[in-house]
Structure 1
Amino acid sequence: MSDKSITMDQQYEINKLAKRLRAGVGKAINDYNMIEAGDTVMVCLSGGKDSYSMLDILMSLQKSAPISFRLIAVNLDQGQPGFPKEVLPNYLESLGVEYKIIEEDTYSTVKRVIPEGKTTCGLCSRLRRGILYRVAREIGATKIALGHHRDDILETLFLNMFYGGKLKGMPAKLVSDDGSNVVIRPLAYCAEKDIARYAMIKEFPIIPCNLCGSQPNLQRQVIKDMLTEWNKKHPGRIETMFRAMQNIVPSHLMDTASYDFVNLKSDGIAREDGDKAFDKEVFSAPLAVNFTN
């Protein structure tokens, strides 16, 4: 958005949006201890709105943070036909941020292995993640920052419930399965609509993923549409569901590995996680949170 076209009221709204996103990222970093003094954070940059916004906000926070940490923007060029190779290097050069471009032709592998008409996201993601883990070790990164936001996290929860039969989401911080890398998601508290608006205002040079975008009826898109419809009919439901992911009660679920149901016995001692089935359960309406203000 050109500065000449921005009114004072629009600038005020833009400043509020930037402040809200920055505050969300800062809170997520603090809540989960995502970035520590001396960290080298590998910021995974895809060329999409989310990763551009993440890098922009992290660079902003880096300037005022009470600790010192290093940012390295890393892009994986997967060999997709027509990929504009010059866009990201030119943009990153203009920012003056340290960066690294990795060229690995995973596109050909995915197209060869996955039958025509089948979803490619799973294999593409696994190949990409493996390469990024390797690169993180090579450059000495202590943290790997991914651009997943609040909506991605909720969508993953429902994807796992509906299609995987498990209560599993996408945490804000975790260790990779080989124990070598710490993965962080600084945008975990940020709404996708805010990020989309921010990316438009900042005029990031978006590079669309033709491989993913060309696939109809993706399961994730089905879930996204469902959540969007729910939120239209019941404003605030998205926020309530997200809070639920941070307020888990294992004693009222069914996982014997998470709660010792086998050895559970009455002992006459009152307990917070005890059954309240004989009391009337009271539910309040979802708290409507306006993320546009």
Structure 2
Amino acid sequence: MQKLLSKLRRAVIDFKLIETGDKVAVGLSGGKDSITLLHLLSKYRTFSPEKFELIAITIDPKTGADFTPLEKLCKELDVPFHIIESNIKEIVFDIRKEKNPCSLCANLRRGILNDKAKELGCNKIALGHHKNDAIETLLMSMFYEGRINSFSPKTYLSRKDVTIIRPMVYIDELDIKNTSKKYSFPIVENPCPANGFTKRQYIKDLTYSLEKEIPGLKDHLLGSLTNIEQLNVWDKNKY
């Protein structure tokens, strides 16, 4: 846990993710990533030089998941917990019958989360994206869209007047998995019909496979996202 806290703190400092007076909402899905983030931010606030408030928001997409363990966890961590009912599953699978449902589902969840966080007086929303997520997003953008792109550790949404932060961008997914098992985090199983059968899952499996062939691959790819001075792309306007 100390190793993860150190990396979270470095991300907070590098990207100025948290400032004194912030009220931060953690998007708590019940997976290992969001639960780990909640634990880390809960611990970080005890010694952080920035004094900030912390709450947790869970969106219930009506897939049959039991979020009772999350409510208990938040009580233990002294973090106010809010669960928001939604009809996301009905919209995505029954009404729209999406063949690739993840994008629409993510957009709907994001919209609900942003609105609720703003309603509760939060100026920042913390998401559980980690180093592997950043790398997978980069590769998906290159492979499927033909562009070099990934999410940012900090993004201001002017239409909502909230800032999205991702404090775990330096943390490897394997470290999150190991920490989750070590401390027996109350993981809420995902009964989503599309779980495990997505393009992102394919890219995730690919990166783990490539890491065996190319040691340090993930660190190199993450480094490419921050090495803006040596971003060599073809600019037709130069010629």
Does residue 103 (structure 1) correspond to residue 85 (structure 2)? The answer is yes
- Quote how far apart the aligned CAs of 1:114 are: 3.9
The Cα shift of 1:250 comes to 7.0
Any idea what SS the aligned residue of 2:58 has?
A: strand
Answering whether residue 3 of structure 2 is matched by residue 23 of structure 1, we say: no
Contact 1:121 1:212 survives alignment (8 Å): no
**Per-residue deviation, 1:85:** 3.7
TM-score of the superposed pair, with normalisation by structure 2: 0.94
Q: Which of 49, 55, 78 is the aligned partner of 1:66?
A: 49
Unaligned stretches of 5+ residues in structure 1 = 1-17, 265-293
The residue correspondences of 1:25-40 to structure 2 (distance < 5 A) are 25-40=8-23
Q: Specify the alignment match of 2:206 in structure 1.
A: 226
SS of residue matched to 1:63:
helix
| 1:274-285 matches, cutoff 5 A | none
- Alpha-carbon distance in 2 for matches of 1:86, 1:67: 31
**Partner of 2:55: helix, strand, or coil?**
strand
Partner of 1:133 in structure 2? Answer: 114
What is the CA distance between 1:254 and its match in structure 2? Answer: 2.6
Instruction: Kindly indicate which of the two structures has a greater share of residues assigned to helix.
Output: 2
Q: Distance in 1 between matches of 2:44 and 2:54?
A: 11
Q: Does 1:246 align with 2:229?
A: no
* Structure 2 Cα separation of the partners of residues 212 and 187 of structure 1: 27
Question: After TM superposition, where is structure 1 displaced by more than 6 Å over at least 4 residues in a row?
Answer: none
User: Cα offset for 1:215?
Assistant: 5.0
Report the CA distance between 1:101 and its aligned residue.
1.2
Of the three residues 73, 90, 104, the one matched with 2:72 is 90
TM-score normalized by structure 1? 0.77
- Looking at CA atoms only, which structure, 1 or 2, has the larger radius of gyration? 1
Residue 173 of structure 1 aligns with which residue? 154
Measure, in 1, the Cα distance between the counterparts of 2:165 and 2:106. 16
CA–CA distance in 2 between the matches of 1:233 and 1:215? 23
Kindly state the Cα deviation for residue 224 of structure 1 after the two structures are TM-superposed.
1.0
Which amino acid is the alignment partner of residue 100 of structure 1?
A: H
Superposed CA RMSD in Å reads: 1.8
Q: What 5-or-longer segments of structure 2 have no aligned partner?
A: none
**Larger RCO: Structure 1 or Structure 2 (Cα < 8 Å, ≥ 6 residues apart)?**
2
Residue type at the aligned position of 1:133? N
Residue 162 of structure 1 is matched in structure 2 by: 143
Deviations 1:126-158 (A, max 9, x none): 000010111121011111100000000000001
AA matched with 1:232: K
Find the residue that maps to 1:211 and give its secondary structure. coil
